[in-house]
Amino acid sequence: MDTSGVSKRKHSENEIRDHPDQSNVEEQEEKPKYPKSVFFIISNEFCERFCYYGMRTVLSLYLYSMLKYSESTSTIIYHVFTCFVYFFPLIGAIISDSWLGKFYTIFYLSIIYAIGQVILSLSAAPPVQLPAREFSMLGLFLIALGTGGIKPCVSAFGGDQFILPQQERQLAMFFSLFYFSINTGSLISTLLTPVLREVKCFGTDCYFVAFLVPAVLMVISIVIFVSGKVMYKMVKPTGNLIVTVTKCVCHAIANKFRRKANRDHWLDHADDVYDNKLIEDIKVALRVLKLFIPLPIFWALYDQQGSQWTFQATRMDGQMGSFILLPDQLQALNPLLIIIFIPIFETLVYPAFAKIHFIDTPLKKLVVGGFLASVAFVAAGIVEIQIEYTYPKLPTNGNAQMRIFNTMNCTVNVDMANHVVNPVKINPVSMSEVLEVKANETVTIPYTADFTECYEKGYTDLKTAKGEINGTEAIASSWVITPLGLNHGYEDMVDKPEKGTPMVRGLIYLAPGLDNATLIVSRNDKIAASIPVSSFKFSHSELHNIESPGEYDVYLDKTLLDKNVVFKSGGVFTVVGSHVKHNGQSMIAGNTITVTPPNSLHMAWMLPQYIIITMAEVMFSVTGLQFAFTQAPVSMKSLLQAGWLLSVAFGNLIVVIIKGSRPFERQVYEIFLYAVLMAVVITIFAVMTLFYKYVDIPEEEDTDGALPLEEKAGNVNSAYKEDEK
């Protein structure tokens, strides 16, 4: 019997008793300290994510309302930008792994990122007088390059700070904190930046500040990141896997065409240069990447939360008591629901399904997540149908749309017999019905106006008035009756306001000899709109925004014209009135007319689609990353991550293609198109999964402490939402 092991153990125990300090040293060596450097990385990530999501939250409305792009073009630009954001990680990974290393790649690209954010902010400041469109596009390109380039580096750099496998639990904690910082930064900025843009500066919405605050956070993130340099563990670049795989694949294809010999797999043609282990690993990775081919359509739906769904919200009512929910703030539901849903799904939903052997594999979760995304767009389409009932009557091709306003407190009848069968009756301080008159480019309409009632009341010296009014095809024009006749017209705005806030204009006639006046919309002595009125020459005022929808009183100077007028989001209003004198007495009248009906469908109707798309994200995104990491050989994990990010890029490209082709005039048809495409593609994906055989990665391969982070931490990286974001 060999007793050497026993004697050695006793000898060791004696040494420990005699040298307790030595045992502590050995224990410390076995348990390395938690790397404090990662807190610089987590803080840096919080600031960077705040910057990115803060900017992206208001981006669609900035393109639409400030740069004056159409809603369709704004959507295209938004998704082209997002496409670049998820393409540039390939560039960042190659730069990092082949030349600069993770630290310097993050540092240099973060500087480019910050410069882009500053340029975007300055382009939104009118006094700077930069060409707004050109510099905005430059800023967005630099931001995409910066945030995309650092995307594959930051989490991996954080993992480099740990000693594996001894610190696997600490590494998991790091990713939990990292994930929390991402969602916290996203949530706070998504709520804050819409409020910042609502602040007035330079006479308009303050997108300058809404972009400047994220720019400042980005600069702070660079300072924080550099501050930890002395504590970082640096790993030298060892070559980029994506480049190696690309060369191997290209070499195999070239050899296949040069050689006539048959091989079991086309990749085997590369075995004259590349070793069999690499070739076999690529084969496994390609099997997974093949499953990724249908997946971009999910991201085509998911990323429309920041574009089409935001525009949809502008046409809805955000009033919640005394609080007004802004259209772009609604995006904050996603990170908030993600934080709530992930623990619920992990602890309750998935275990419950696993017990009944339903949705118990990653691929089944992906399929269900895809179908949920389709259902979310069905819900969005139903909401859009309801919104359409609230849309104003817009001018159409072949017709001129006309309205006639009466500023006097008396009835006027207007006869346009050649174009309108019955005389049009316009009540006191009111508006006629909407008139549709056939027009080929333009139309001239002779009229006869009966002012008898106004003459008898002393408003005018006219009993009748004759003349012509003009209309333009597919344009809404308004004409105004004053004591001088029916001789003032202008092109009116009858569509929903760009920002969704109510708008008001004044049509107030002041008799000659009266002092100039001011039309005031106020509540509790707080003025919401102040519109100057001239007695020199009658004219319509410009439209003024009512920043806080609600109930207001309308005054002409100190005279109350209309009380408790409700200005709701999405409405366009006109205050019609006059101030004349008759027999030494002042006659003041006024009324507020709704030209464009306000938003009557509440934003709460969008809650189901946000809940469903977030459930889809939990089942699709997080599970997809986990599947990619667990099904790929350790050496291929970064390749699978790159493939996953590219699927996001191609998803946004799908939106650009569909929106650019403009297949439908009605938005609701496009929404349902996405729902159908998602359902069809995910059905094809479900069929593909039936032929997939899960791969068991050898445990000893997966726990090799010498592997870099992106190859080590597949199990914890599934919680890392940065790659889906």
Backbone dihedral region for residue 576 (phi beyond 0: left; psi -120 to 50: alpha; all else: beta): beta
d(CA 294, CA 683): 10
Listed ranges 156-170, 291-305, 343-357; the one with the highest mean pLDDT: 291-305
Radius of gyration of the chain (CA): 33
- The secondary element (H helix, E strand) that includes residue 701 is helix 699-702
d(CA 332, CA 354): 31
How much is the pLDDT for 381? 97
Residue type, 363: L
Q: Report cis status (omega within 30 of 0) of the bond before 395.
A: no
Listed ranges 24-33, 258-267, 630-639, 708-717; the one with the highest mean pLDDT: 258-267
Asked whether residue 321 carries a pLDDT value surpassing 60, the answer given is: yes
What mean pLDDT value characterizes the chain? Answer: 86
Give the model confidence (pLDDT) of 137-187 as tens digits: 999 999 999 999 998 888 888 888 888 778 877 887 887 788 788 888 999
Taking alpha carbons only, the member of 329, 381, 322, 672 closest to residue 500 is 329
Give the model confidence (pLDDT) of 556-590 as tens digits: 999 999 999 999 888 999 999 999 998 888 999 99
Cα–Cα distances (Å) from 52 to 133, 214, 647, in that order, read 20, 7, 20
132-160 and 101-123 helices cross at what angle (nearest 10)? 150
Six-digit token string for 411: 């009835």
Burial class (CB in 10 A: 0-12, 13-18, 19+), 237: middle
pLDDT band at 21, cuts 50/70/90?
low
Six-digit token string for 587: 């006659």
d(CA 347, CA 605): 29
**Of 118-122, 277-281, 624-628, 655-659, the least confident:** 624-628
pLDDT band at 702, cuts 50/70/90?
very low
Asked whether residue 543 carries a pLDDT value surpassing 90, the answer given is: yes
How much is the pLDDT for 16? 46
Beta bridge partners of 402: 435, 477
Could you give the 3-state DSSP secondary structure of residue 529?
Answer: strand
Backbone angles phi, psi at 469, to 5 degrees: -120, 155
How much is the pLDDT for 697? 55
d(CA 87, CA 91): 8
Pairing of strands 435-438, 204-205: unpaired
Distance between first and last Cα of the chain: 63
* 531 contacts: CB under 8 Å, gap ≥ 6: 504, 505, 506, 518, 519, 520, 521, 541, 544, 575
How much is the pLDDT for 380? 97
Asked whether residue 703 carries a pLDDT value surpassing 60, the answer given is: no
Asked whether residue 405 carries a pLDDT value surpassing 90, the answer given is: yes
Q: Is there a contact between 313 and 327 (Cβ–Cβ < 8 Å)?
A: yes
Mean pLDDT of 73-80: 96
d(CA 303, CA 310): 11
How much is the pLDDT for 705? 36
- Alpha carbon 162 to chain centroid distance? 35
d(CA 117, CA 221): 13
Asked whether residue 5 carries a pLDDT value surpassing 50, the answer given is: no
Q: Is there a contact between 714 and 644 (Cβ–Cβ < 8 Å)?
A: no
d(CA 487, CA 539): 11
Looking at 345-388, list the stretches that DSSP marks H as alpha helix, in order from N- to C-terminal side.
350-355, 362-388
